[in-house]
A and B are shown apart, each in its own frame.
Chain A
């Protein structure tokens, strides 16, 4: 019987890049974690593996794909299946916008007590900030001339997503969650790296969402980490060369909750358990 870690993330949150880098680490067999059997279907990450080997950025996954991927990992004899039912992330948007959840997702939610939620801070909209609500006369005029199209804010969307997942999990809203562990992964950390610890960063970019998880999980079951699965941008030629000559599996890092940095990104799996 294996434990299942569920990877959740909107499109372009870095799931595919992480899975490809994780697979690369597991494949070498030199880490504490290994694959306990070969991966049945590598299709979802094969393009990413090829790109990274060539020192190229991973292309955005077509979001209409709903194929899942399972990485069967063993750690000290314990079997852990890292499962991403929707590596394109489109179903996450579908859940929030259309308020429908596929049986595939429900089964995944029911089977996993360890959730990894991928959020890319540089993609998060912070228009909730009061300073952004203060318009200049010019911008007000521009806004008044525009069709006022509404799209849900990222904060509200993430809160609603977790509310829906908790509901499907059968969580009793009267109690704080003590069974399901939630690890928030702030991806592409190299894009937003500063003095903040990951938890502080989450509070800064998604304050109400942070309040929401604090109000629904016991503190011991929440982890917030930063991760740069590549370590740096591959837009620069020097960096591409490093990947090409040394192998992508030798790059990337994780920023642990205490702010310390480790290069072994497989530690994310240990944290999530």
Chain B
């Protein structure tokens, strides 16, 4: 069925209805798209022959990645962490900072195939001094992928950020082969680097219970990590002073010991007047570091051994 759910977080019809309706026609939030809707704007416009743009501007589903991967091999960063750890808000803040003209180190902004997706994240980010209203939770069945096209010198780099629900990572952390952890497996398999979100607010409230969940995810990240970088993102860092010092130190030590290519950083959406390091600088520093570790300049020079033969075909070197 063609159409769209009124709830922007629901990925139906591409994925099952978030309310569990098997037939979308029974879902009160689903709006079926009709031919009339397609031509709803001015008759003069719709009477003409139109070419449809091959990307929607919204966040990509995994089956749509060819929109980007057909032109380059994108770099994917997996955003990993339990539910409500601030993963989606982080992306919203990144785009808000971009809209304000801030830029990633060493890169020029060349565009994005998911501009409406980013723009919606920005729209949903609600800040006020002293508290933050977070966007609605990411649906369990959803893996939204956001794209940035960045230019480094004269090279185009397509960078993707996967924003999957925290629940799938919690499930995956316990059993990586769980039927309900397919999205987490996809993110783990395909990512070039990871942001591991550590929710300071949860640590302050739930103490060792929250630590246990973080470390389960962290240990699962390790099983086939190879040389992929991991950065621990201490989110809602304005609540860090409320976290027990020994708990904080233990987590820091354990994570550092776990990952071969590792860094840590504190971020927050809590806004103070004027330049604010954990809001402005560190949100970008997370991506700066992952990009730096993921894009390794190749020192290798391709050496071609001389071909010692009289064969004209094998000796051909083009127009030298």
Contact = CB atoms under 8 A, between A and B. Distances in A.
Task: Decide if A and B are genuine partners.
Answer: yes
Interface of A: 63-66, 90-91, 93-95, 97-104, 106, 128-130, 133-137, 140, 143-144, 148, 150, 152-153, 155-156, 159-160, 163-164, 167-168, 173-176, 203, 207-208, 210-212, 214-216
Given A133-B126, A212-B109, A215-B111, 20 more contacts: A64-B44, A64-B45, A94-B42, A102-B45, A103-B50, A106-B51, A133-B271, A150-B8, A152-B119, A153-B99, A155-B99, A156-B119, A160-B116, A168-B51, A173-B71, A173-B110, A173-B111, A207-B101, A208-B101, A216-B111
B62 interface: no
Tell me the interface secondary structure of chain B in the complex.
mixed
Interface string B117-155: 011101111111100010000000000000001010011
A144 B126 CA distance: 10
A208 B98 contact: yes
Of A104, A129, A136, A212, most buried by chain B (CB within 10 Å of CB) is A212
Contacts of A137: 128
A143 B96 CA distance: 19
A133 B101 contact: no
A201 B176 CA distance: 52
Contact of A143 (B8, B38, B103, B126): B126
Nearest to A104: B48
B108 A167 contact: no
Interface residues of B, number: 49
Nearest to B116: A152
Interface of B: 8, 38, 41-45, 48-53, 56-57, 71-72, 96-101, 103, 108-112, 115-116, 118-120, 122-129, 133, 149, 151, 154-156, 271
A62 to B, nearest CB: 10
A134 B42 contact: no
B276 to A, nearest CB: 9
Contacts of B156: 173-174
Nearest to B51: A101
Given A173-B71, A174-B156, A212-B111, A102 B99 contact: no
Nearest to A66: B44
A160 B38 CA distance: 20
A215 B42 contact: no
Contact of A102 (B49, B56, B96): B49
A167 B38 CA distance: 22
A102 B50 contact: yes
A91 B45 contact: yes
Contacts of B109: 208, 211-212, 215
Contacts of A140: 126, 128, 133
8 contacts: A99-B56, A103-B50, A133-B125, A156-B99, A156-B115, A160-B115, A208-B98, A215-B110
A212 B151 CA distance: 10
A130 B48 contact: no
A128 B96 CA distance: 6
Nearest to B120: A150
Given A99-B57, A215-B111, A215-B151, A128 B44 contact: no
Of A106, A210, A211, most buried by chain B (CB within 10 Å of CB) is A211
Nearest to A96: B57
Contact of A211 (B45, B101, B129): B101
B108 A102 contact: no
Contacts of A148: 123-124
> Which 4 interchain pairs have the tightest Cβ spacing?
A207-B101, A128-B99, A215-B108, A100-B50
Contacts of A65: 44
B45 A90 contact: yes
B96 A133 contact: yes
Contacts of A128: 96, 99-100, 122
Contacts of A215: 108-111, 151
A207 B45 contact: no
Nearest to A140: B128
A159 B115 contact: yes
B148 to A, nearest CB: 11
Contact of A134 (B50, B98, B120, B128): B128
A211 B51 CA distance: 28
A216 B53 CA distance: 19
B127 A164 contact: no
B114 to A, nearest CB: 10
Contacts of B108: 211, 214-215
Nearest to B49: A103
A100 B127 contact: no
Contacts of B271: 130, 133-134
B127 A133 contact: yes
A167 B149 CA distance: 14
Given A91-B45, A129-B100, A130-B271, A212 B110 contact: yes
Contacts of B57: 99, 160
B149 A130 contact: no
Contacts of A98: 38, 41
B154 A102 contact: no
